[in-house]
Amino acid sequence: MDGPFGKVHGSFSGLKSAFQFNENDLSGSKLTASIDPNTVNSGVGLRNTHLRNDEQFLNTKKYPEIRFSSRKIVKSPDGYLLTGDLTLKGITKSIEIPFTFSPAGNTGIFKGRFTIKRLDYQIGKEGGSVGSTININIEVPLKK
């Protein structure tokens, strides 16, 4: 997250996903994924506790899962564009994720980046020291 005092970096672990991807059959390709928000790690223990437990942030007791489900994948000038629904804190919004896929034998790497507006998902409150957008980078190794 960007704020007036700089960027706060963090990560999630424990991604569970199913990605059916065929460069020659994009209409038959799809992605579903989920993450346990309790795995958030900002590098600062007190901040992690605040992000997990505060009702204004992830509120993981009430919302124990972040989910994504694709609706379509199309070719783009720089790779591919994935359109789908992101559910965070019980709120579902349509998002687009530009991504690349680099195959290597029976494996490959899915890399994408997208931005969400935190207030769209009731994360935090207006103003303060927290920026209005969250930049999300995804890098997922895949096996055939």
Q: What is the pTM of this model?
A: 0.88
- Residue 5, classed as helix, strand or coil, is coil
- Please write down the HEC assignment for all residues of 53-99: HCCCCCCCCCCCCEEEEEEEEEEECCEEEEEEEEEECCEEEEEEEEE
- Residue among 67, 8, 2 at smallest CA distance from 37: 67
- Residue 12, classed as helix, strand or coil, is coil
- Which residues span the domain enclosing 67? 2-143
CATH of the domain at 12: 2.40.128.110
- Is the CB of residue 86 less than 8 Å from the CB of residue 119? no
Query: What gap in Å lies between CA 141 and CA 117, rounded to an integer?
Result: 27
pLDDT tens digits, the chain, 144 residues: what are they?
Answer: 444 446 778 899 988 999 888 889 999 999 999 999 999 998 889 988 988 888 888 999 999 999 999 999 999 999 999 999 999 999 999 999 999 999 888 888 999 999 999 999 999 888 766 788 999 999 988 887
Cα separations in angstroms, 24 against 21, 43, 79, 100: 9, 41, 13, 15
Look at residue 2 in the predicted model and tell me its pLDDT.
47
Cα separations in angstroms, 35 against 15, 28, 79: 5, 24, 25
State the total domains in the chain.
1
